[in-house]
Chains A and B, each alone.
Chain A
């Protein structure tokens, strides 16, 4: 896809009018372009640019939420086409805020950015107990699990969940953690594979961990 075309997707993701992204996506589907190209080279590339702007504090959360809303709509339109091509996602990712945690804006931003980066994301939601994480992991067999905590009490629960995951399988999935009270030091202490300070860095960390694995 040409740079000018990626620009169109970038502008459409930033447009408050939902019709802009709808028209653009429809136009590209009608061009008989592979839905994978539209997704990877158009939407994901545009979303990555938005992620970088967010990281550089050129834009803030409302702009990210708007881009996510628009991208979600585009993916909905692409879905019937994507199913036909049987595409594999970049990786499978499960996320939840651990037991006793109820603040999910940070976690939701990670969901937005990971989806935007081409991962298949399963969001277990808020206040997720250890058993639910382990059950979902055995069903979905994800490449990565993200645990998020905003409260200090739930930090301790993270360690508990990581223990359970490692007991079941010492090397898969990779576990990444984040949240206001969490630090890199803490991540190392409890045996997580990585810590990310924000949603954009979570995507970078996930990409790196999967590259190192393969």
Chain B
């Protein structure tokens, strides 16, 4: 018998707030699930899909139409804001994601935030794509937006190694960067809600493998708290690496959900966050989604469901060679319900 929560959108929204359960768990993608195989199926390819709203929306929709996910998320790259902030971006190719080639800010004063930043083509395209998706799918599919947080934007503007070194040698500069750049994240997130997103992912790569929990706590925690106060809709934190040692900090930052990796054990995570924040994840890319069999994917998915994760998802943006059948195996595992 179909359950009243049994539409893709309801499943995702319910999971997002840790709410009532329908027949099965929702399957969503806070990060890109676009593969070369999916691009071929609809004849829309990178890099055009990063910069053309119609193509962006159509390619993103394959995640729902072809793979069967309960969400659609149109921002595939992490460089949309970077170009608007003055980085020279190489938009890549079908098998290569975009990359910022220049890092124009050595000092906080070098950061230039254009007044009309939302009108810049690389950012406007996301808003337009969300509008299209809202119109075509908004009545039944969860529409997910995404912005880069100030830590990631600092990497783009200053360079990863430079910025990480400053966390020891020039802490006031780090604070100035985060303080200025968070304004871009807040502005873009709120504009994405206006354009039609149900939820916005904040991707901020202070990853577990690069920096310590203390670094997160000292620099980013207060910034994320402020962002979550000033962003009007639900937020998902995407911050990769093994973050087993700092899950409580993300709860303190008041995100509605955290998108996490397989390295973080789902059972432990569920226990630690204690339903104060939802958990989205955490099927491994390496060796499983890419390089594993549908059976491998199925096993991980069932483990996560049994652990009590709120929404199933790949752990991060998938490798572009990931087979569609492996992505479908996540959905198949979900369809078996909670038992």
Contact = CB atoms under 8 A, between A and B. Distances in A.
Interface of A: 16, 59-63, 65-66, 69, 100, 102-103, 105, 108, 151-153, 180-181, 183, 186
B168 A62 contact: yes
A65 B321 contact: no
Given A102-B99, A151-B96, A152-B321, A65 B164 contact: yes
Contacts of B43: none
B212 A153 contact: no
Interface of B: 90, 95-97, 99, 160-161, 164-165, 167-169, 209-212, 215, 285-287, 290-291, 319-321
A152 B212 CA distance: 28
A180 B164 contact: no
A37 B17 CA distance: 61
Nearest to B213: A60
B290 A181 contact: yes
Contact of A62 (B165, B320, B321): B165
14 contacts: A16-B168, A16-B169, A60-B212, A61-B210, A62-B165, A62-B211, A63-B168, A65-B161, A66-B169, A69-B165, A105-B210, A151-B97, A151-B319, A183-B291
Contacts of B95: 100, 151, 153
Contact of A181 (B161, B164, B215, B319): B319
B290 A62 contact: no
Contacts of A181: 285-286, 290-291, 319
Given A100-B96, A183-B286, A66 B161 contact: no
A108 B161 contact: yes
Contacts of A100: 95-96
A196 to B, nearest CB: 15
A152 B290 CA distance: 9
B188 to A, nearest CB: 24
A63 B320 CA distance: 33
B134 to A, nearest CB: 32
A59 B90 CA distance: 33
Nearest to A14: B168
Given A16-B168, A16-B169, A153-B321, A62 B287 contact: no
A103 B98 CA distance: 11
A153 B167 contact: no
Contacts of A103: 99
B319 A152 contact: yes
Contacts of A69: 165
A138 B215 CA distance: 44
Given A183-B287, A183-B291, A66 B212 contact: no
Given A16-B168, A181-B286, A105 B161 contact: yes
A28 B75 CA distance: 55
B165 A66 contact: yes
**A62, A66, A153, A181: most-surrounded residue (chain B CB, <10 A):** A62
A151 B96 CA distance: 8
Contacts of B290: 152, 181
Nearest to B93: A100
B168 A66 contact: yes
A10 to B, nearest CB: 16
Contacts of A151: 95-97, 319-320
Given A105-B161, A151-B96, A180-B286, A62 B167 contact: yes
A132 B136 CA distance: 49
A102 B95 CA distance: 13
A65 B319 contact: no
A181 B287 CA distance: 8
Given A152-B290, A181-B286, A183-B287, A62 B319 contact: no
Contact of B164 (A16, A59, A61, A102): A61
Contacts of B165: 62, 65-66, 69
